[in-house]
Amino acid sequence: MSLILYGIPNCDTVKKARAWLDARQQPYQFHDFKKAGVPEARLPQWIAQTGWEKLINRQGTTWRKLPPELQAQIQDAAGATRLMRDQASLIKRPVVEWPDGSVTVGFNETAWAEKL
């Protein structure tokens, strides 16, 4: 299994993460949520490993622009999955599937160095 980085290319955190991997000559596949969509089949694994709460970016513009009734729908994994599938920008980025099968959310140089 190769390293797969999921995100949006213009996201600053994704840019930092990709630059960090490139600087270490670490090969990876990039999955662009905007072009390829959210890989719905992967969401259950991400939720199982990280928790749905960690996957939802409640600090971002997309979350703040959601009507309160949509925000209120996120009470459990099923509600979070529906909204993440429909609103890729709600997913905290980057999501990384590591060669060892683990999944991380966000960019943390120290944690990533340990993974490599």
Residues annotated as part of the active site: 11
Contacts of 29 (CB under 8 A, 6+ apart): 2, 3, 4, 5
Eight-state DSSP code of residue 58? T
Q: Are 32 and 9 in contact (CB under 8 A)?
A: yes
User: Alpha helices of 51-108 — where are they, by DSSP H?
Assistant: 52-55, 61-65, 68-72, 77-86
Are 90 and 83 contacting, i.e. CB atoms less than 8 angstroms apart?
A: yes
